[in-house]
Amino acid sequence: MTTILLNALSILLVLFLALLLKKIGLLRQEDGALTSKLVVYLTLPATILIGVNHTKLSGIFFILMFMGLFSNLLLVFLGKFIGRKASVQERGLYMFDLSGYNIGNFSIPFVSSFFPAAIPFLAMFDMGNSLMVTGTTQAIIELSSGRKKHGFILQEIFGVLFRNPPFVVYIFMFILAIFGLSFPDDWLIPIRPLANANTLLSIFTIGLFMEFRLPKGKLKLLLKILTWRYLLAFILASLVYFFAPLPAIIKEVLLLIFFCPMSFLHMIQAIELGNDKALAGLVISLSMFISLILMSIIVIVL
C-alpha cells in the first residue's frame, strides 16, 4: 500500500511541478507540444516494447482488444442518448468525454512502477481503444451531427493509426507474438532509459496541458459530464468484476482502465467540433485528478 500511495503522490508532485513552472512563466502550455512528441515518439514506444516483450498470445488478448473497441462504441452512443436534448456541440462533448481512455499517457505510467505484469493487458485493450480515439469516434460524431467534416473514411483513420508510433509498436509486437518471437532482453538495455523516463514526461506533459478556467454558465454541463463518466465507469467495472468469467488479474486491469482519465485526443477533436477550449480542457484536467484518486483506491482495495 505504501508503494501505491507514494506512486500516486509522485504523480501529483509532477503534475503540480508542471503547473507551477507554467504559472511562474518558466514554461508555457505550448511547450507541452514538444514534451508530448518526446512521449509519443520515444518514451511510450520504448515502454510498450519492453512491457509486452516475451508476451505469449492467448484468447484473452483478443477479448481485451474487442472490449477496447466495444466499450468505446457503447459509451459513444450512450453519450449521444444522454446529450440528445443538448446543442450539437454539447452533445458531441458528451460523446467524446464519456468514451475514450488515456491508457498510453496515464494508465501505463501509473501501473508500470508497481504492477508491470499488467502492461501487456493494458496494451491489448489499448489497440481497440486506439482504433476509436484516433479518428473513428470523431467520424461517428461528425456523421451523427450532420456535419461530415471528415466523415467515416477508413483509409484516413488507418492512416492516422499507422502514423502513431505507439500503435505501430503494438502491431509490430503483436505480429512477433503471433510467431512466438521476442527480443533478447540484452538487446533492449539501450532503450531502458527511455522507458524509465516515460512516467515523468507523460505526467509532466499532462500538467502542462491542464486548464482550470470555467466558462460562464458551463458548471452544470461540466458536473453532468463528470458524473456520467464515472457513473458509467462504475457500472462497467461492476459488470466485469462480478459477472465476467475472467481471471482476477484481467478484472483488476479492466477496473483500472474503466476509471482512467479521458483521452487528450478527444479534447482536441471536441474543440474542432466547436466546443470551448477552456471547457474541454477543464473537463480533461479534472478527470486526471479524479481518476488518480479512484485508481489508487482500486489498487489499494484489490
CATH (domain of 39):
1.20.1530
Residue where the block lists cell 496494451 = 123
Which strand (E) or helix (H) includes residue 234?
helix 219-243
* Share of residues in the chain with pLDDT > 90 (%): 35
Residues 218, 223, 226, 227, CA torsion sign: negative
| Average pLDDT value for the chain | 87
Tell me what the mean pLDDT of segment 246-271 comes to.
89
Q: How confident is the model at residue 224 (pLDDT cuts 50, 70, 90)?
A: very high
- Residue 160 has a pLDDT of 64
The single-letter DSSP state of residue 261 is P
CA distance 225 to 17: 27
- The whole domain housing 205 covers 2-301
Q: What is the pLDDT of residues 106-122, one digit of tens each?
A: 888 888 767 788 888 99
- Residue 68 has a pLDDT of 95
Could you tell me how far CA 221 lies from the centroid of its own chain?
22
CA distance 204 to 11: 9
CA distance 230 to 293: 12
Domain count of the fold of the chain: 1
Q: Is the pLDDT of residue 99 over 70?
A: yes
Q: Is the pLDDT of residue 48 over 60?
A: yes
Q: Is the pLDDT of residue 253 over 80?
A: yes
Q: What is the pLDDT of residues 178-195, one digit of tens each?
A: 888 899 999 999 999 998
pTM of the model: 0.86
Q: CA distances (Å), 22 to each of 18, 27, 201, 206, 265, in order?
A: 6, 5, 15, 12, 21
Using DSSP, state whether 157 is helix, strand or coil: helix
